[in-house]
Amino acid sequence: MGADRAVKSRRGENPTAQSRRRQRAAAGAGKFEPMTSSAETAATRRPRVAVAHPRLGRGGSELVAMWALEALQGDHALTLVTTREVDWDALNAFSGTRVRGDAVAVVRPRWPGLVQGLGPGAAFRRAVNQRQARRVAADHDVVISAYNPVDFGRSAIQLIGDLSWDGPVAARYDAPPPGLRGRLLASRVAHGAYRWVVGRLRAPSGWDVLGRDRVVANSGWVAELMAREHGLRPEVLFPPVPGDFPEVPWERRAHRFVSVGRIAPEKRVERLIAIVAGVRRRGHDVALHLAGPVGRDAYGREIARLAQRSGPWVVLTGPVHGAEKAALLAGSRFGLHGREGEPFGIAVAELVRAGCVPFVPAVGGPAEIVDHAGLTWVDEADAVARIDRMLRAPAALAGARTHLAARAPLFGTAAFVTGVRALVAEALAGRFGAKMKSEGA
């Protein structure tokens, strides 16, 4: 009995419970306080960092999660919070990382089959992921959401990947998906019931995520949009753009356009086919290679039929990765991107790094990447006209290539790694600073 009293405080807490209570108190004050116990001190252990991502597939936010882990491994004890089984070999191959999976603790839901089975239920997965992340937050010195705002119930680093979490804003740029999912979203009853279930599952803690957390946007366009919509002016950290691209002389490149990414409604792939068809009608013998998985959903079937009707100049290459993707991009002269309101556009940054000349919508992150008025368009007719003019003006095309070559070094992995490490170091030091509210908010 005396021994029991010796290891407990007068409030009945053992040292570990005391540590976690202090952590929660520090979180409530908006500061990070590294945890200590009788067995370890801040001087003898690595800081504990949790990285949350709802589902690691093959996309831009997955690159953010993997490169965040890459940046922090070794110096930090890492936990990944997600909703599906993690294939480290496949993720490393896709991301160009060397994350040591055996050194990362993985937290997944107790019923992963149910969560993974609800493929279209992105909000459901995010809600499950948030609940998991909140449960482990108190056991970590720093918590990071690698994909959009997560309510950890304490101070966190929020890496914003897109605006899907803000329904009204997202609806301005993304049309409802086709098929059953689109019909369910259009149904007030079905969608209302789904939102009610998700809201209950999320169980907000009351923490002011956007007002008190360190919010980092992936582009200046997203930062400005958040300033207008939420009165918040986040800092900007471009996402990682991995890969090495061979240098191929312009005269040896194919006279074609290439688009890399998911064949999904929000990517507006049908628009790309229409634009290149218009360019061909103006006398340019160009092709379009669509490098991405074509699903068996309603949209995938629609694009497959459209490509077949268009003729052999539309090539569905399927998904490409690694050296195969690098060779495709470096062997092409032009790129094309169709999604208006794309938050950043890693595929566009890859095109720039590969030496292509991409044409992109004037609204969104890709326009920030190319930063060239002659390469941005407002609608399909404008795109056709601008491409036609550029292809008929060798001097203008050479100038655009020189401009893009100067911008290419802005996009890679080194700056992201440095930025993530700096964010974590500042969090550990408690230097979050004043909240970055825009004037007049």
- Identical fold for domains 28-33+46-240+415-428 and 250-410, yes or no, is yes
pLDDT for 194 equals 62
Question: Can you give the residue ranges of every domain in the chain?
Answer: 28-33+46-240+415-428, 250-410
135 CB contacts (<8 Å, ≥6 apart)?
none
Q: Are strands 104-107 and 77-81 parallel, antiparallel or unpaired?
A: parallel
The b/e string for 15-48 (b: 16+ C-beta within 10 A; e otherwise) is: eeebbeeebeebbeebebbbbbeeeeeeeeeebb
What's the whole-model pTM score? 0.82
State which H helix or E strand residue 65 sits in.
Answer: helix 60-72
Residue 365 has a CB neighbour count (10 Å cut-off) of 27
Q: Cα-Cα-Cα-Cα dihedral of 308, 181, 365, 128, to 10°? A: -140
How far apart CA 5 and CA 3 sit, in angstroms, is: 5
Query: Does the pLDDT of residue 346 top 90, yes or no?
Result: yes
User: Is 246 in a helix, a strand, or coil?
Assistant: coil
Nearest to 78 by CA among 136, 21, 23: 136
pLDDT for 378 equals 97
Provide φ and ψ at 287, rounded to 5°.
Answer: -115, 170
CATH architecture for segment(s) 250-410: 3-Layer(aba) Sandwich (3.40)
Bridge partners (DSSP) listed for residue 232: 437
Among 24-38, 164-178, 223-237, name the most confident range. 223-237
Percentages (nearest 5) of helix, strand, coil residues in the chain? 50, 15, 40
How far apart CA 238 and CA 219 sit, in angstroms, is: 6
Q: For 237-280, write each residue's pLDDT tens digit.
A: 999 999 999 999 999 999 999 999 989 888 999 999 999 999 99
CATH architecture for segment(s) 28-33+46-240+415-428: 3-Layer(aba) Sandwich (3.40)
Higher pLDDT, 388 or 201: 388
Bridge partners (DSSP) listed for residue 334: 257, 357
174 CB contacts (<8 Å, ≥6 apart)?
265, 266, 341
Q: For 362-380, write each residue's pLDDT tens digit.
A: 999 999 999 999 999 999 9
Degrees, nearest 5: CA angle 40-44-46: 100
Percent of the chain scored above 70 by pLDDT? Answer: 78
How far apart CA 23 and CA 428 sit, in angstroms, is: 12
pLDDT for 26 equals 38
Query: Does the pLDDT of residue 439 top 70, yes or no?
Result: no
Q: For 118-168, write each residue's pLDDT tens digit.
A: 445 677 788 888 989 999 999 999 999 999 999 999 999 999 999 888 888
